[in-house]
Amino acid sequence: MLETLYQWFWWDKLWLPAELSWADLEDKDGRVYAKASHLYVTVPYAFSFLLVRYLFERWIATPLAVSGGIRHRVHLKVEHNPILENYYSTHSKNPLQADINGLSKKSSLPVRQIERWFRRRRRQDHPGVLKKFREASWRFVFYLSAFIGGIAALYDKEWLYDSRQVWTGYPKQSMLDSQYWYYILEMSFYGCLLCSIAFDVKRKDFKEQIIHHLATLVLLSFSWCANFIRMGTLVMLVHDASDILLESAKLFNYAKWEKTSHGLFVAFAIVFMVTRLIIFPFWLIHCTWVYPVHHYPAYFGYYFFNVMLVVLLFLHIFWAYLIFRMIRKFLFGTLTRDERSDNEEEEEQESSLTEDGDVQQHKPFNELSRDAASEKNGCFGLSPPENTCLSRLCHELGSV
């Protein structure tokens, strides 16, 4: 049974044009071709990336964050309450008012105290800025290194400038050392991201991130085995271009460099739209959809590869929608929270205001006046670096 499935899976008619077979991709005449067995090395490399990331975040990212004034914020643990903890763990982190009333009767605690307990409990689980800074710095370093490496590997290749050359001589296109390492390291990194996504800062697009990583790994693996390596390198290069600006904008936001972060975010939005919504569909997908049939009749691998590219395109459109919505809210002064993050940041601010309400009531009149003036000034007031608009924008810069 397994042997039959294995033979069916590697049936050359699924992966290659009808008149070709795996025998045509055997190393000979000085040509070296990609093999599926080469991909096994990405598994230990992915775990090696996890170790490198741990060392990087501990010995480089953390001191860098501290030097930028970012500290680890320790939330006080809430008083243990078995009834509330059980509800929090098994039912919901945000109970409805009717549930709160029921919990109040069951635990013999006032409603206000239960609301405060849930706010503090959610805040206790909320990751701090230092954790976000470490994650962003790790991704920034890799994306920057990968992009520079991609440029070094492709700058002198004719298919970078003329997409028709991607299919010249296909599939008898010898694999270069630069292509090998570009692929292996990128796939290992995405494998690392897939392994760590459950422990990283969780955002609203958690499911989309998993789909993105899986689609990327499937796309790269298939293109490797079917010798679509030239197109695969172009796809990776296009994706890395905007990710660099995204992660750098996040870093400067966390460090309160607001103007720099604004400029980088504008650059990121422009590059994202150009690379993901223009170059990717109208250059790369067009190249894989139109040109191959000039050389060979359409086959399963041709359709499968294009479907995976379209899946990535739909994810790009989804993220572009979030970016446009965030920009609109920011420009018109209605940006209040991360379109892609959980609501914890906003809840933390609201809970702080609620819990400090008694203090506000006892402030002198002149202090309350200054607070009201500061709130009225909003984004465009001459406020100090703790500008709330910038702190809100910080949470918009998720990974795409």
Condensed to tens digits (0 to 9), the pLDDT of residues 383-397 reads 333 344 444 444 544
Q: Does residue 369 lie in a domain region?
A: no
Q: What CATH number is attached to the domain comprising 117?
A: 1.10.10.60
In the predicted structure, residue 24 carries a pLDDT above the cut 60: yes
- 111 and 194 co-located in one domain: no
- 58 and 115 co-located in one domain: no
- 167 and 109 co-located in one domain: no
Model confidence at 155, in pLDDT bands (50, 70, 90)?
Answer: very high
- 115 and 210 co-located in one domain: no
Q: Does residue 329 lie in a domain region?
A: yes
User: What is the distance between the alpha carbons of residues 303 and 203, in angstroms, rounded to a whole number?
Assistant: 32
Residue 85 is predicted with a pLDDT of: 82
Mean pLDDT confidence for 47-69: 93
Residue 276 is predicted with a pLDDT of: 95
Residue 221 is predicted with a pLDDT of: 93
Residue 63 is predicted with a pLDDT of: 92
Mean pLDDT confidence for 22-42: 87
Amino acid identity for residue 45 in this structure: Y
In the predicted structure, residue 364 carries a pLDDT above the cut 90: no
Q: Looking at 298, 316, 333, which one is the last position of a domain?
A: 333
Q: Which of 193-197, 240-244, 373-377 has the lowest mean pLDDT?
A: 373-377
In the predicted structure, residue 373 carries a pLDDT above the cut 90: no
- 185 and 209 co-located in one domain: yes
User: What is the distance between the alpha carbons of residues 243 and 273, in angstroms, rounded to a whole number?
Assistant: 12
Locus of tokens 């890799």: 142
What's the total number of domains in the chain?
2
Of the two residues 284 and 374, the one the predictor is more confident about is: 284
- 142 and 219 co-located in one domain: yes
Percent of the chain with pLDDT over 90: 38
For the stretch 310-320, pLDDT in tens is 989 998 999 89
User: What is the distance between the alpha carbons of residues 210 and 336, in angstroms, rounded to a whole number?
Assistant: 26
Mean pLDDT confidence for 112-117: 87
Domain encompassing residue 303: 30-67+128-333
Instruction: Taking each helix axis as running N to C, give the angle between helix 206-225 and helix 300-331, from 0 to 180 degrees, rounded to the nearest 10.
Output: 150
User: What is the distance between the alpha carbons of residues 158 and 167, in angstroms, rounded to a whole number?
Assistant: 11
Q: Does residue 282 lie in a domain region?
A: yes
Mean pLDDT confidence for 6-16: 83
Of the two residues 157 and 370, the one the predictor is more confident about is: 157
Percent of the chain with pLDDT over 70: 79
In the predicted structure, residue 6 carries a pLDDT above the cut 90: no
- 37 and 53 co-located in one domain: yes
For the stretch 226-278, pLDDT in tens is 999 999 999 999 999 999 999 999 999 998 888 898 889 889 999 999 999 99
- 195 and 100 co-located in one domain: no
Model confidence at 147, in pLDDT bands (50, 70, 90)?
Answer: very high
> Which of the given ranges, 191-200, 201-210, 322-331, has the highest pLDDT on average?
191-200
Q: Does residue 160 lie in a domain region?
A: yes
Of the two residues 216 and 76, the one the predictor is more confident about is: 216
- 319 and 206 co-located in one domain: yes
Residue 400 is predicted with a pLDDT of: 62
Q: Which residues contact 374 (CB under 8 A, 6 or more apart)?
A: 381, 383
- Three-state DSSP at 28 gives strand
Q: Does residue 313 lie in a domain region?
A: yes
Residue 306 is predicted with a pLDDT of: 94
Residue 205 is predicted with a pLDDT of: 64
In the predicted structure, residue 81 carries a pLDDT above the cut 60: yes
In the predicted structure, residue 378 carries a pLDDT above the cut 50: no
Q: Does residue 222 lie in a domain region?
A: yes
- 118 and 150 co-located in one domain: no
Residue 74 is predicted with a pLDDT of: 62
Of the two residues 157 and 203, the one the predictor is more confident about is: 157
For the stretch 285-309, pLDDT in tens is 999 999 999 888 888 999 999 999 9
Mean pLDDT over the full length of the chain: 80
Residue 76 is predicted with a pLDDT of: 67
Mean pLDDT confidence for 137-148: 96
Model confidence at 130, in pLDDT bands (50, 70, 90)?
Answer: confident
Residue 19 is predicted with a pLDDT of: 82
Encoded tokens for 285 = 């997908």
Under 8 Å between Cβ of 78 and 117:
yes
> Which of the given ranges, 9-18, 229-238, 323-332, has the highest pLDDT on average?
229-238
Amino acid identity for residue 178 in this structure: S
User: What is the distance between the alpha carbons of residues 217 and 136, in angstroms, rounded to a whole number?
Assistant: 21
Amino acid identity for residue 302 in this structure: Y
Which own/partner contact pairs does 324-331 have at CB distance under 8 Å and 24+ positions apart? 326/393, 326/396, 327/269, 330/389, 330/393, 330/396
Mean pLDDT confidence for 334-346: 46
Residue 380 is predicted with a pLDDT of: 33
Q: Does residue 194 lie in a domain region?
A: yes
Q: Does residue 154 lie in a domain region?
A: yes
- 95 and 202 co-located in one domain: no
Cα–Cα distances (Å) from 46 to 298, 330, 341, in that order, read 34, 38, 26
User: What is the distance between the alpha carbons of residues 135 and 373, in angstroms, rounded to a whole number?
Assistant: 36
- 89 and 169 co-located in one domain: no
